[in-house]
Chain A
Amino acid sequence: MEDADGGRFNESAYAWLEIDPERCNKCGICVDMCPMDVLHFGRKGYPYMRYRDDCWYCDVCTFMCPRQAITMTELPYLIS
């Protein structure tokens, strides 16, 4: 498991993927499967959108999560 990089990445910055800590068991499938390398583990072991602006809104993360812990709330850059 990797840690966020020395404060350079703001884990609490606005993101359109919501991770439910009650459901997420930190298995890392979403981090592993994200095709654009957007998702990484944060300090507490939960995934977050480290490279948020590379998200293609492909929906892989929400679909692949076995615990339905990820919700895509909106598509802001696609002017939804």
Chain B
Amino acid sequence: MYHIKQADIVIIGGGAAGSMAAIYAHRTDPNLRIAVLDKSKLETSGAAGRGMDGLNNMAIPPASEPEDLVQFYTLITEGVLDQEASYEFAKRCPRAVADLEEIMNRKKGDLFPVDEKGNYQLIDMHGIGKPFLLPMDGEEMKRAMAQAVRSTGAAVYDRTPAIKIVTVDNRVAGVLGFNIRNGEYYFFKTKAVCMTAGCAGRMGLGNSGYLAGTYEFPGCSGDGHAMAYDAGAELVNMECFQLSAKLKDHMGPICGFVAGPRGARTVNRVGEKSWIHPYSSGDSRLGVWKSYAEGKDPLFMNMDHLPEGNVKVIEKILFGTERTSRRLFHKNRGQDYRRPKSVEVEFSDDISICGGHNSSGVLSDCNGATCVPGLYVAGDVDGGVPHSMLGGAIAMGSLIGLRAAQYAANADMASIDGLKHWIHDEIETFEAPLKRDRGLPTHLVETKARSRILYYLKPPKNPDRLNIALWWMERIRREDLPRIKAADYHDLLKAHEIKSILLVGEMMAGASLFRDESRWGYFHWRLDIPEKKPDWEGCWVVTRKGVNGIEYVKRNVPPYKWDFSTSMEYKYPELSFDAGMPPAKPSPKRLEDGDSWTLGHIEKEGMDTPKRFMPKREG
């Protein structure tokens, strides 16, 4: 069963970015009809469903100016960025802070720390001498945002993922979604879409093999990237993978941004600091990889040297916000922050594509606009503002709500020919996995796809592995997708998500092949070309839909407004060593001239193997 509805703006994904987009669209024009589609539940969905302990990468004067943040972004992206888009975000940081205080009804100094002059107290840990991390006591953030969204009168559709954006004459015209609890479909005729569906966080596979044990919120499976691509949007930096440092076996980050500034040290087993850069950039990950390669793993987060007060502060924050099950995890493992080498750190295997933690995603400009009229992006799906984290989701989510509202005010609702037939056909195709009598369980196909992605795409990369990854993505799409059996509507969403995982995996492999250099430290380390090339300076790989499938294009980033450094200080290692020589004599006896004994068997038996179940014995 389906329903056809009308909305001036449809927001896909009700995380922090989507919630702020809804709030700002309503503020801009209270008469707008706004629909928010959330795969999950608005109050708890997304990466910050249990709140967050800080707003990261924020420029809050007088501690840090917008230009300072652009300087930092220019460095960690090694110049592959749109400085103007980053500057637009940086300018909006103070407003994002004020918005959160208002939405959460918290006084200044209560939600964020301030000094005696009333200035926000940010933490300097990004390595360029300016503070960008604003601590936050924000457990209830997401629920407060949801309350604010619902109070606007926006129509909120929980448990209703969007599955398709429809365009007419290359501009946004509609969105199809379905409810995973009751199987009802909704088609929204609309003028504008705010795409805030989060990262592609289910790409690789953690070593526990547990599909939902991801660093990123497991509901974020790259559907936003897939839908935007399908609608004609461009994506960038799909070769710049995110590999996170997290608690060994737990899905939580090590929270270096909480524990680090309070004195914790993340070191390898011989006590060396593995992080090159204090921020989680590609050079730091190269340092982590080095510890593993040199046999100096495991890594540990040590806090045993800290005064009890510091440890309690860290526990108060980490056990009460974001990934709170870490308390139980530590308890059951007998881990204690007060003991050395007690907390093991893991170099995550669940590779992701994330504009918040890194710089890949759907390309947007300084207004969050994509190349598809009416389609705006913000948050982890956005590749326009790199490393934007939660602060970026809030600031840029607000901006796209504003811009989408302005766009919708001047746009007509597109007429869609043959809509009912289209919806009918689309639903029939979409529900095929549900209607099969039998087939492959979704979890097996997802495991197959993600284990291939992990094995063939995890850096360091080489072209043969990347090509095999492409082969697997195509093969799974061709052979396994038509045979998936979904058990119910909840499971049907899984079948749909696998399509997104395969498409994003293909983009990751293809873009990694296309950028024939190495860059961003570990994130795009090509073993066959272990160096940055001058002709790739300031260039994106743009990934987009072509006539014959995905196409990749090299494009200069917009001209720099500031002449900041674009080079991090690291060097790709030369990987070669002498494993010894084979013995000179006696040389192994080879059968290069023919194996007459086996040839004799072939002559007698042909190529089939005789079925000698048991030796025949006489008598």
Instruction: Report the nearest A residue to B210, measured CB to CB.
Output: A77
In the bound complex, residues from chain B placing their C-beta under 8 Å from that of A13 are none
Instruction: Report the nearest A residue to B211, measured CB to CB.
Output: A53
Which B237-252 residues sit within 8 Å CB-CB of chain A? 249-251
Chain B interface, DSSP helix/strand/loop, else mixed: loop
A33 pairs with B219, CB closer than 8 A:
no
B50 pairs with A58, CB closer than 8 A:
yes
One of A33, A37, A59, A79 near B490 (C-beta < 8 A)? A37
In the bound complex, residues from chain B placing their C-beta under 8 Å from that of A79 are 208, 249
B217 pairs with A75, CB closer than 8 A:
no
CA distance A2 to B333 in the complex (A): 37
B251 pairs with A80, CB closer than 8 A:
no
Which A46-65 residues sit within 8 Å CB-CB of chain B? 51, 53-60, 63-64
Q: Taking the complex as formed, is B329 at the interface, i.e. its CB lies under 8 A from any CB of chain A?
A: yes
Q: Taking the complex as formed, is A1 at the interface, i.e. its CB lies under 8 A from any CB of chain B?
A: no
In the bound complex, residues from chain B placing their C-beta under 8 Å from that of A75 are 250, 325, 328-329, 332
CA distance A58 to B45 in the complex (A): 10
In the bound complex, residues from chain B placing their C-beta under 8 Å from that of A54 are 211-212, 218
CA distance A57 to B210 in the complex (A): 12
Q: Taking the complex as formed, is B180 at the interface, i.e. its CB lies under 8 A from any CB of chain A?
A: yes
Chain A interface, DSSP helix/strand/loop, else mixed: loop
Q: Taking the complex as formed, is B324 at the interface, i.e. its CB lies under 8 A from any CB of chain A?
A: yes
Q: Taking the complex as formed, is A8 at the interface, i.e. its CB lies under 8 A from any CB of chain B?
A: yes
One of A37, A53, A59, A64 near B159 (C-beta < 8 A)? A37
One of B211, B219, B325, B443 near A57 (C-beta < 8 A)? B325
Q: Taking the complex as formed, is B487 at the interface, i.e. its CB lies under 8 A from any CB of chain A?
A: yes
Instruction: Report the nearest A residue to B139, measured CB to CB.
Output: A63
Partner-binding segment picked from B36-44, B96-104, B225-233: B36-44
In the bound complex, residues from chain A placing their C-beta under 8 Å from that of B488 are 5
CA distance A33 to B43 in the complex (A): 7
B210 pairs with A74, CB closer than 8 A:
no
A36 pairs with B250, CB closer than 8 A:
no
Q: Taking the complex as formed, is A24 at the interface, i.e. its CB lies under 8 A from any CB of chain B?
A: no
Q: Taking the complex as formed, is B49 at the interface, i.e. its CB lies under 8 A from any CB of chain A?
A: yes
The winner among A8, A32, A58 for most chain B CB atoms within 10 A is A58
Q: Taking the complex as formed, is B475 at the interface, i.e. its CB lies under 8 A from any CB of chain A?
A: no
A78 pairs with B210, CB closer than 8 A:
yes
CA distance A56 to B49 in the complex (A): 11
In the bound complex, residues from chain B placing their C-beta under 8 Å from that of A36 are 40, 212, 218-219
Q: Taking the complex as formed, is A27 at the interface, i.e. its CB lies under 8 A from any CB of chain B?
A: no
One of B208, B328, B490 near A77 (C-beta < 8 A)? B208
One of B41, B208, B212, B250 near A55 (C-beta < 8 A)? B212
CA distance A33 to B50 in the complex (A): 11
One of B46, B219, B324, B443 near A53 (C-beta < 8 A)? B443
CA distance A30 to B250 in the complex (A): 23
In the bound complex, residues from chain B placing their C-beta under 8 Å from that of A37 are 40, 159, 180-181, 490
In the bound complex, residues from chain A placing their C-beta under 8 Å from that of B181 are 37
Q: Taking the complex as formed, is B109 at the interface, i.e. its CB lies under 8 A from any CB of chain A?
A: no
B443 pairs with A78, CB closer than 8 A:
no
Q: Mark B30-63, 1 if CB is under 8 A from A, else 0.
A: 0000000000110111100110000000000000
Q: Taking the complex as formed, is B287 at the interface, i.e. its CB lies under 8 A from any CB of chain A?
A: no
In the bound complex, residues from chain B placing their C-beta under 8 Å from that of A32 are 41
In the bound complex, residues from chain A placing their C-beta under 8 Å from that of B43 are 33
CA distance A57 to B327 in the complex (A): 11
B49 pairs with A58, CB closer than 8 A:
yes
Q: Taking the complex as formed, is A15 at the interface, i.e. its CB lies under 8 A from any CB of chain B?
A: no
Q: Taking the complex as formed, is B278 at the interface, i.e. its CB lies under 8 A from any CB of chain A?
A: no
A72 pairs with B180, CB closer than 8 A:
no
A51 pairs with B324, CB closer than 8 A:
no
Q: A54-B218, A57-B251, A60-B44 are in contact. Are A80 and B333 (CB under 8 A)?
A: yes
Q: Taking the complex as formed, is B213 at the interface, i.e. its CB lies under 8 A from any CB of chain A?
A: yes
Q: A8-B487, A72-B325, A75-B250 are in contact. Are A56 and B44 (CB under 8 A)?
A: no
Q: Mark B310-343, 1 if CB is under 8 A from A, else 0.
A: 0000000000000111001100110000000000
The winner among B180, B181, B328, B329 for most chain A CB atoms within 10 A is B328
B44 pairs with A34, CB closer than 8 A:
yes
B41 pairs with A33, CB closer than 8 A:
yes
One of A5, A51, A53, A59 near B50 (C-beta < 8 A)? A59
In the bound complex, residues from chain A placing their C-beta under 8 Å from that of B250 are 75, 78, 80
Q: A32-B41, A35-B49 are in contact. Are A74 and B328 (CB under 8 A)?
A: yes
CA distance A56 to B214 in the complex (A): 8
In the bound complex, residues from chain A placing their C-beta under 8 Å from that of B490 are 37, 51
Instruction: Report the nearest B residue to A16, measured CB to CB.
Output: B328
In the bound complex, residues from chain A placing their C-beta under 8 Å from that of B324 are 58-59, 63
B41 pairs with A80, CB closer than 8 A:
no
Q: Mark A1-16, 1 if CB is under 8 A from B, else 0.
A: 0000100100000000
Which residues of B does A touch, CB under 8 Å?
40-41, 43-46, 49-50, 159, 180-181, 208, 210-214, 217-219, 249-251, 323-325, 328-329, 332-333, 443, 487-488, 490
Which residues of A does B touch, CB under 8 Å?
5, 8, 32-37, 51, 53-60, 63-64, 72, 74-75, 77-80
Given contacts A60-B44, A77-B210, 4 further A-B contacts (CB under 8 A): A35-B40, A53-B443, A63-B50, A74-B332
24 contacts between A and B (CB under 8 A): A8-B487, A33-B43, A35-B40, A35-B41, A35-B44, A35-B46, A35-B49, A36-B40, A37-B159, A37-B180, A55-B212, A56-B218, A56-B251, A57-B325, A58-B323, A58-B325, A59-B324, A60-B50, A75-B329, A77-B210, A77-B213, A78-B325, A79-B208, A80-B249
Q: Ordered nearest first, which 3 A-B pairs have the shortest CB separation?
A: A77-B210, A80-B332, A57-B325
